[in-house]
Amino acid sequence: MLYSRGLRRIGSAVLTVAIVVMISGSALLLGSDAAEPPVRIPSNVAWTATTIAKASSGNPLRGLIIARRCDRCHGREGFSSSPAVPNLAAMDRLVVWKQLDDFRSGKRSSPVMQPIANSLSEQDTADVAAYYWMMPIAPDPMDDRAFPQPLPDPKHEAVAVRLITAGDGSRGLPPCQACHGPIGLVTGAPSLTTQNAPYLLEQIEAFASGRRANDINLRMRSIATQLTEEERQALSESYGAGLAPSAGPPAR
């Protein structure tokens, strides 16, 4: 009798524990579904002396070999033949390094780039970044680049030039060129002057909707949400047509 009562008590204790575990487990699951982790910790990369040194430590010759895995989408010289795929030629090595780290950690989601970034070690990442950084932006008749795209209509061009060079004080929008160059360059901000229009538009829309949320301090999300649809198009078209002021090839 005593034995079976003891057993029952143990049994109900086990059941209680099991129920508590189930409830708290599902609460945890629900919690992680409802929260938006990338918004709170947008990137594992913070620009410290250590990360900058790591991202700058690449060997472009090793990178040249690794980059052959990227050719079919990003082009042999870092200029893509598809306007939806970003050009990497001359892209700041810190930018390439950060984006690859963000794809790897899932802070920037891309079903295409995540497995590719996962296949690269930290050293490979720095090496391939050093390679693209060295690639010239000068036109090469031998490659099949989608850049530049056709000129936008003059009305769109005027809208874009104003936002790129002056911003819009009434909405607290700084000029794009204060962070993306050539006037100023924020660490981790890519030059946009040789980027493809459809890719740029897609990224602006992604920042605006929060689908892309790997920008440190909400810099791009807070700007993109304020741009009208027409401005997003105008900016993408003007950069994609090579109209934006450029400082020429980046200093190395």
**What does the block give as tokens for 228?**
């009208």
Closest separation between CB of residue 174 and ligand HEC, Å? 4
Q: Considering only residues 55, 126, 176, 234, which one is a binding residue for ligand HEC as defined by CB under 6 A?
A: 176
Please identify, using beta-carbon distances, which residue of 151 and 183 lies nearer to ligand HEC. Answer: 183
- b vs e for 142-159, b when ≥16 Cβ sit within 10 Å of the residue's Cβ? eeebbbbbeebeeebbeb
Q: Considering only residues 38, 54, 58, 70, which one is a binding residue for ligand HEC as defined by CB under 6 A?
A: 70
Please identify, using beta-carbon distances, which residue of 31 and 115 lies nearer to ligand HEC. Answer: 115
Q: Considering only residues 93, 180, 213, 244, which one is a binding residue for ligand HEC as defined by CB under 6 A?
A: 180
Q: Residue 98 interacts with ligand HEC (CB under 6 A)?
A: yes
**Site for ligand HEC, residues 115 to 134, rule: CB under 6 A:** 116, 128
Q: Residue 146 interacts with ligand HEC (CB under 6 A)?
A: no
Closest separation between CB of residue 151 and ligand HEC, Å? 18
Please identify, using beta-carbon distances, which residue of 20 and 186 lies nearer to ligand HEC. Answer: 186
Please identify, using beta-carbon distances, which residue of 82 and 140 lies nearer to ligand HEC. Answer: 82
Positions in the binding site for ligand HEC (CB under 6 A): 66, 69-70, 72-74, 85-86, 88, 96, 98-100, 110, 112-113, 116, 128, 163, 174, 176, 178-180, 186, 188-190, 192, 195, 200, 203-204, 214-216, 219-220, 223, 235
